Amino acid sequence: MTPDGFPIVGETKEFPNFINAIGTCGQGFMLGPGLGELLARIVSCELTDDDIDVLKHFNLYRDFSRIEQFK
């Protein structure tokens, strides 16, 4: 679970090549297939502009002070 309800996906500053794909909260099965494709593009360095935009919302270093809308 994450405070804002979004997962944590992407690379870490502290550990090069360590990629998070966690915190999918209550939507992990639903997100799984698309997340798998996104992870494949991360590791193969084939991110699209849309991927880069999406990953900003899933960034480990984002502002977690926003609360999930459904709470």
Ligand X SMILES: Cc1cc2nc3c(=O)[nH]c(=O)nc-3n(C[C@H](O)[C@H](O)[C@H](O)COP(=O)(O)OP(=O)(O)OC[C@H]3O[C@@H](n4cnc5c(N)ncnc54)[C@H](O)[C@@H]3O)c2cc1C
Neighbours of 27 (CB within 10 A): 12
Q: Considering only CA atoms, which of 48, 68, 69, 56 is closest in space to residue 11?
A: 56
Question: How many chain residues interact with ligand X (CB under 6 A)?
Answer: 7
Stretch that binds ligand X, among 11-19, 20-28, 38-46, 57-65 (CB under 6 A): 20-28
Of the CA atoms within 13 Å of residue 16, those in its CB half-sphere come to: 0
30 scored as a contact of ligand X (CB under 6 A): yes
Of the two residues 30 and 40, which places its CB atom closer to ligand X in the complex?
Answer: 30
- Which residues of this protein are in contact with ligand X, per CB under 6 A? 22, 24, 26-30
